[in-house]
Chain A
Amino acid sequence: MEYVIEMLNIDKKFGTFYANKNITLQLGKGEIHALLGENGAGKSTLMNVLFGLYQPDGGQIKVKGKAVNITDPNVANDLGIGMVHQHFMLVENLTVTENIILGSEPTKLGMINIKDSAKKVAEISKLYGLDVDPFAKIEDISVGMQQRVEILKTLYRGAEILIFDEPTASLTPQEIDELIRIMRKLIEEGKSIIIITHKLQEIMDVSDRVTVIRKGEGIGTVITAETNPEELATLMVGRQVTFKTEKGPAHPTEEILRIENLTVADYRNINKVKNLNLTVRRGEIVGLAGIDGNGQSELIEAITGLRKVKSGKIIIGDKDVTNKRPRTITETGVGHIPQDRHKHGLVLDFSVGYNAALQSYYQKPYSSNGLMNYKAVADHANKIIADYDVRTQGEHELARALSGGNQQKLIIGREVERNPDLLIAALPTRGLDVGAIEFIHRRLIEQRDQGKAVLLISFELDEVMNVSDKIAVIYDGAIVDTVIPAETTEQELGLFMAGHNKNEIVKTEEGPVVKEGDDNHV
């Protein structure tokens, strides 16, 4: 095979820590090559080395067979390497064309020549089937379209090799299909692609070959057609991964959480939770399934005291905690893994240690008489780091520097270690790789088996099906129905999530469907 890029035995050290160790990646011409690894395995570091943001400490990079020294991103650009970042680098209130020429604006007598540029943008867009309007403003177009602008930007600058960093992270399923089509088109036109991801299905769908790295080390390269998701997962994590979480039957006992006729409004004073009733007992995991925006966020915030309740009651154990302060509720025995770990879960500019103490810093031994005991804080953090496999350089490292999965493990460790009677886990596995997801699911089940009550909120149907003992489906602020996972199907849940209740659904041989005449319900 003819290689356009060869990264041979690359090492990259930060201090004494090897972020990349002896990694080899060879990208063939016209190939889609996936780079697979867990969060924090060193994928981004390796690509930053290729893109000139980091200098390797060992190894060699060849472009089209010639050894090169990529000292900064401009050199990478000149070599025809373009990067489509996970977080788009676009100016919101400029047009597509303005964004694309930003930094190398073609000028005539000091005036920007936008017309010619727009024409060129339109031509490229057409050639690759990107369907981008050169004059649209970034703030007016969808996330999927913005990503195509990023792709256009690299093509406009003459990229032959495109690196996609987690390109599907923020796309809808339809947008993902569209992206895959565009990638195929790019290949047809002679480009080569590296795609960074930890999603196995995506790799199976789109790539020709896969290079796997684990904990910074190159594990090897396999041909996609000759492998399967299970093998890839094993290579990535370094052990057998079970996609189906093992668990015994639940033994629920007394009620811990009881919600009665709860109504909660959002910041615009529009009711998002409407007369909702729900109970969670010790020893069971109740999964709250539903499409984003049906009142899940408001419900969790009301339970945890972050949002005021309009009417109704929330009872935890035997205490009425309606409209109590967050700390009072926390001390009643509630652990909360928040939906947005950056907004609520962590102080990103605090160290791992400080974050580990976020919910208990005011108690002994972490502080007494107004003084912090940072030794105790560090010990506590080190215990969480060890027990919850948080991969970090130490408790003094900033939480911001951790990968998403490790941030999440830190939060889960912090909440579970407080030994709460009720654990509320909101989207606990969002954006995480299979290894981390499996770890977190096991922890939730462990809590259940120790007689704790768990309320799991998720937008992923298979997560809800897999982990819960009971599924409550939320639609438009109320519970549509509560079902047992073994007695339902994804199709039936899907209909509940769209607002149909049990009476409207008939079971047929092809699965459940909505009764005739009832499909105008939604």
Chain B
Amino acid sequence: MSNRIINVLVPVISIILGLLVGAVVMLVSGYDPIAGYAALWNGIFGDTYAIGETIRQISPYILAGLAVAFAFRTGLFNIGVEGQLIVGWFAAAYVGMAFELPKFIHLPLALLAAAAAGAIWGLIPGLLKATLKVHEVIVTIMMNYIALHIVNALIKSISHGGFKLDKIQETASLRSDFLSELTDFSTLHYGIFVALFMVFIMWFLLDRMKLGYELKSVGFNENAAEYAGMNVKKNIVMAMVISGAFAGLGGAMEALGTFGNISARAGFTGIGFDGIAVALLGANTPLGVIFGASLFGSLKYGANNMPNAADIPIEIVSIVIALIIFFVASGYIIRVGLLRLSKKKEAK
């Protein structure tokens, strides 16, 4: 079996296996898996509206995945994407609400504010790591809680005791009548283009820019980077800042596109944490992140249709979705299995 065939077979087999095990779970719990999967399919691809919503859901996942993948490629483990995304969401929503500016200034400014907020949230763990060698995993986890509660407090104080900010100005919105009409009035917005543009940016930064060469060197081998005269500390901080900016933009998708404001939250959005899985599914490459985010986004959105159309309780749906993702992530096992199979054939 050639490598190319295996590369195609692995994800296909993993998804099929995931679907099969998911079907067993549904059967055992007394639900009809065929109806369930039909509902899932229709939820993702059923009509242009569903497709629009699915794409909309994918955008923040792409950015969260890029944030994790970028840090990973530079030798850092950014668990703080969730917090960076929340502060980005807040910054975009606030700038979008509080200013009155022409669109060509307002929208970029709101996006920039989100990126900057996320960047600052990444800067702190970056600085601590570079100067005091505090492990970034601990700091970023804690920064998530700080982000959640500070943002809630800010919302409360700005809205004079309320639980959400006012809607953003039209001039800061990513919403698009054109995309919306195209997809049967879904909430699809321009955010997907921002996300795809950032995929390009990540590739360009890592594989074309001098900065990317340095960041990767430091990530792979700090000692060799120092030997080569690179400023290791500066590069660690830089990597966290850029990663945080990606995450902050993920928040902007929600603020300027999907919701148009920010509300106080009882808990995390989950997008930032799913970003870890998205990045790993995509092997931490820019294009891979698109694949991972598409899988996550479409399953997440399509699953909403399963309780309605097939009467499957949301708990079972969550298990089935998790199983499918689990099997895709276990692609390695399937790859090994396939290799062994082809080896045996060769031996005969």
Q: Check if A358 sits within 8 Å of B224, measured CB to CB.
A: yes
Q: Check if A347 sits within 8 Å of B224, measured CB to CB.
A: yes
B157 an interface residue at 8 Å Cβ cutoff? Answer: no
Asked if A343 meets B223 with Cβ closer than 8 Å, knowing A71-B347, A371-B208, the reply is yes
B268 an interface residue at 8 Å Cβ cutoff? Answer: no
Assembly CA distance A306 to B228 (angstroms): 10
> Do most interface residues of chain B lie in helix, strand or loop, or is the interface mixed?
helix
Minimum CB–CB distance from A56 to chain B (whole Å) comes to: 11
B210 an interface residue at 8 Å Cβ cutoff? Answer: yes
Indicate with 1 or 0, residue by residue over B305-348, a CB within 8 angstroms of chain A CB atoms: 00000000000000000000000000000000000000110110
B229 an interface residue at 8 Å Cβ cutoff? Answer: yes
Q: Check if B343 sits within 8 Å of A362, measured CB to CB.
A: no
Assembly CA distance A349 to B73 (angstroms): 11
B57 an interface residue at 8 Å Cβ cutoff? Answer: no
Which residues A318-358 have CB closer than 8 A to chain B?
Answer: 325-328, 330, 336, 338, 343-350, 354, 357-358
Q: Check if B221 sits within 8 Å of A370, measured CB to CB.
A: no
For chains A and B in complex, what number of residue pairs have CB atoms within 8 angstroms?
Answer: 72
A376 an interface residue at 8 Å Cβ cutoff? Answer: no
Q: Check if B217 sits within 8 Å of A372, measured CB to CB.
A: no
Q: Check if B227 sits within 8 Å of A350, measured CB to CB.
A: no
The 3 A-B pairs of least Cβ separation, nearest first, read: A327-B229, A344-B227, A367-B210
Indicate with 1 or 0, residue by residue over B217-255, a CB within 8 angstroms of chain A CB atoms: 100110111111110000000000000000000000000
Assembly CA distance A362 to B235 (angstroms): 14
CB neighbours of A348 from chain B (8 A) = 220-221
CB neighbours of B223 from chain A (8 A) = 343-344
Q: Check if B221 sits within 8 Å of A359, measured CB to CB.
A: no
Minimum CB–CB distance from A58 to chain B (whole Å) comes to: 13
Minimum CB–CB distance from B264 to chain A (whole Å) comes to: 41
By CB atoms of chain B within 10 A, which of A347, A348, A357, A358 has the most?
Answer: A347
Q: Check if B227 sits within 8 Å of A372, measured CB to CB.
A: no
Which one of B211, B226, B227, B230 lies within 8 Å of A345 (CB-CB)? B227
Assembly CA distance A306 to B222 (angstroms): 12
> Do most interface residues of chain A lie in helix, strand or loop, or is the interface mixed?
loop
A361 an interface residue at 8 Å Cβ cutoff? Answer: yes
A482 an interface residue at 8 Å Cβ cutoff? Answer: no
Assembly CA distance A361 to B216 (angstroms): 13
Assembly CA distance A358 to B218 (angstroms): 11
A55 an interface residue at 8 Å Cβ cutoff? Answer: yes
CB neighbours of B178 from chain A (8 A) = none
Assembly CA distance A55 to B345 (angstroms): 12
CB neighbours of B200 from chain A (8 A) = none
Assembly CA distance A347 to B214 (angstroms): 11
CB neighbours of A343 from chain B (8 A) = 221, 223-224
B9 an interface residue at 8 Å Cβ cutoff? Answer: no
Q: Check if A326 sits within 8 Å of B224, measured CB to CB.
A: no
CB neighbours of B343 from chain A (8 A) = 55, 71
Asked if A346 meets B347 with Cβ closer than 8 Å, knowing A327-B229, A371-B208, the reply is no
Q: Check if B208 sits within 8 Å of A361, measured CB to CB.
A: no
Assembly CA distance A350 to B343 (angstroms): 30
CB neighbours of B212 from chain A (8 A) = 372
Known: A326-B227, A347-B217, A367-B213. 11 other contacts (CB 8 A): A69-B347, A71-B347, A306-B226, A327-B230, A347-B216, A347-B220, A347-B221, A354-B213, A367-B210, A370-B211, A371-B210
B209 an interface residue at 8 Å Cβ cutoff? Answer: yes
Q: Check if B229 sits within 8 Å of A330, measured CB to CB.
A: yes
Q: Check if B210 sits within 8 Å of A362, measured CB to CB.
A: yes
Q: Check if B228 sits within 8 Å of A372, measured CB to CB.
A: no
Q: Check if A346 sits within 8 Å of B224, measured CB to CB.
A: yes
Minimum CB–CB distance from B213 to chain A (whole Å) comes to: 6
Which one of A55, A338, A362, A371 lies within 8 Å of B347 (CB-CB)? A55
Which one of B208, B217, B344, B347 lies within 8 Å of A358 (CB-CB)? B217
CB neighbours of B216 from chain A (8 A) = 347, 350
Assembly CA distance A328 to B344 (angstroms): 57
By CB atoms of chain A within 10 A, which of B209, B212, B216, B223 has the most?
Answer: B223
By CB atoms of chain A within 10 A, which of B209, B221, B224, B347 has the most?
Answer: B224
Q: Check if B228 sits within 8 Å of A359, measured CB to CB.
A: yes
Q: Check if A372 sits within 8 Å of B347, measured CB to CB.
A: no
CB neighbours of A344 from chain B (8 A) = 223-224, 226-227
CB neighbours of A55 from chain B (8 A) = 343, 346-347
CB neighbours of B229 from chain A (8 A) = 325-328, 330, 359
Assembly CA distance A323 to B191 (angstroms): 50
Which residues A47-68 have CB closer than 8 A to chain B?
Answer: 55
CB neighbours of B220 from chain A (8 A) = 347-350
Minimum CB–CB distance from B245 to chain A (whole Å) comes to: 17
Which one of B209, B214, B221 lies within 8 Å of A371 (CB-CB)? B209
Which one of B210, B225, B346 lies within 8 Å of A370 (CB-CB)? B210
Look across to chain B and name the residue whose beta carbon is closest to the beta carbon of A331.
B229
Assembly CA distance A330 to B226 (angstroms): 12
Assembly CA distance A349 to B208 (angstroms): 17
Minimum CB–CB distance from B241 to chain A (whole Å) comes to: 16
CB neighbours of B213 from chain A (8 A) = 354, 357, 361, 367, 372
Q: Check if B224 sits within 8 Å of A372, measured CB to CB.
A: no
